[in-house]
Amino acid sequence: GVTVSYDEGGERQTASARWVIACDGARSTVRKALGVDLDDLDFEEPWLVVDAEVQGPVSFPPIAGVPEGADLQRLSVMMCDPVRPATVVPGRRDHRRWEFMLLPGEDDKAMSAPDKVAELVGAWMADVPHEIVRAATYRFHGLVAHRWQVGNVFLAGDAAHQTPPFFGQGMCHGLRDVANLAWKMDAVINAGASPAILDTYQRERDPHVRAVIGAAVAAGRYICELDPDLAAARDTRIREEARGKQGETAHDLIPAIREGLVLSGTSGAGARFVQPVLADGSKLDECTGDGWRLFVRDDTVPGEAGGVTRVVAAALADNQAIASWLDQHGVDAVLVRPDHYVFGTASDSGEDLLAARAARLFDYKEFTA
């Protein structure tokens, strides 16, 4: 177990638990106390972030390649302008965020002074009533902890990794971390799984986080380009590369889990499973629950086990998404983990998948030995 000491109202308290998940943010006291170092992915840029309530449309400057009058109001727009790179993000209701790169020599404090902030965002909404609700400067980093687990203490969220926010994935990473840990801890406590399955946490999560942070750092380098000639060359290159291509999303950057609690070598193993909206308007998870699920093509495909929900794709409110997924992978059964990643797939029968799941969950040490 782990004993945590903390102060409450000036008094020292202690709490004991079998495991501790340290989600105490980028400056994580727990990470430092454990002596865990960070891998620096060599990106550090200061940005000013301004939040405002805006009662009306904002005015975008002309953008090459975007027709005049195009509606950009609900889009997140990255202005790769070498004069001052900036991001404009619509929020809920009237909320809108601007992020401005600070240029070499600009002082954090002077740039977040009210008159400077008003000048920077004012140009975007000269005739629109607005109120600035917050302005703060951040250093955008790319960092990943060497170790995500020390004994029974696990680092999660920004305590374990920080990404420049260019793909909006920072909080998503933290949510995936705890989703990964939560079902495994639940399986150990409530289903008799081997505690050693928790050793797969970093092995499963670290490659995902490094791939996405690496891509965000690469995007940051071209977004933050301040040399006008290099910026012009970048624009030409990106337009050429984009010609005839579909847009990429953060989804395309996320690699499958290659090792850990997955049946590597089976088609689609380790990928995130689909979340279609069914014909009755519900989402797949609302209909099936979010524990272990074995999706089979139809009633003829065998596969049943305690602790696993069997879902017959053909019986799902006439939705084709699961059948298409099975077709695409050339299989008849797919076993999905509680965190919605694919454990593995099989043809004809789901029985071998269920046996492989049991072997890994309950005899994990022997299995890896």
Ligand X SMILES: Cc1cc2nc3c(=O)[nH]c(=O)nc-3n(C[C@H](O)[C@H](O)[C@H](O)COP(=O)(O)OP(=O)(O)OC[C@H]3O[C@@H](n4cnc5c(N)ncnc54)[C@H](O)[C@@H]3O)c2cc1C
Q: Which residues of this protein are in contact with ligand X, per CB under 6 A?
A: 23-26, 29, 49, 138, 157-159, 165, 168-172, 174
- CA dihedral of residues 19, 38, 179, 307 (deg, nearest 10): -60
Q: From the CB of 205, what's the least distance to ligand X, in Å?
A: 13
Q: How many CB atoms sit inside 10 A of residue 163's CB?
A: 29
Q: What is the C-alpha separation between 360 and 262, in angstroms, rounded? A: 9
Would you say 51 or 81 has its CB closer to ligand X?
51
Helix (H) or strand (E) holding 118: helix 114-122
Are 218 and 253 spatial neighbours (Cβ–Cβ below 8 Å)? no
Would you say 136 or 189 has its CB closer to ligand X?
136
Q: From the CB of 48, what's the least distance to ligand X, in Å?
A: 9
Q: Is 248 left (phi over 0), alpha (psi -120 to 50) or beta?
A: beta
Q: What is the C-alpha separation between 319 and 240, in angstroms, rounded? A: 38
Q: From the CB of 310, what's the least distance to ligand X, in Å?
A: 34
Identify the DSSP state of 128. S
Would you say 132 or 358 has its CB closer to ligand X?
132
Would you say 170 or 344 has its CB closer to ligand X?
170
Q: From the CB of 137, what's the least distance to ligand X, in Å?
A: 10
Q: Which of helix, strand or coil describes residue 93? A: coil
Q: From the CB of 186, what's the least distance to ligand X, in Å?
A: 20
Are 135 and 112 spatial neighbours (Cβ–Cβ below 8 Å)? yes
Instruction: Give the residue carrying structure tokens 């005015």.
Output: 59
Would you say 159 or 215 has its CB closer to ligand X?
159
Would you say 28 or 194 has its CB closer to ligand X?
28
Strands 342-346 and 333-336: antiparallel
Residue nearest to ligand X (CB): 157
Q: What is the C-alpha separation between 260 and 252, in angstroms, rounded? A: 21
Strands 153-155 and 20-22: parallel
Q: From the CB of 164, what's the least distance to ligand X, in Å?
A: 9
Nearest to 41 by CA among 259, 221, 226: 221
Q: What is the C-alpha separation between 347 and 300, in angstroms, rounded? A: 12
Structure tokens at 79: 């202005």
Phi, psi of 283 (to 5 degrees): -85, 155
Would you say 156 or 313 has its CB closer to ligand X?
156
Would you say 83 or 171 has its CB closer to ligand X?
171
Q: From the CB of 8, what's the least distance to ligand X, in Å?
A: 10
Phi, psi of 253 (to 5 degrees): -85, -15
Would you say 29 or 368 has its CB closer to ligand X?
29
Q: From the CB of 246, what's the least distance to ligand X, in Å?
A: 22
Q: From the CB of 145, what's the least distance to ligand X, in Å?
A: 12
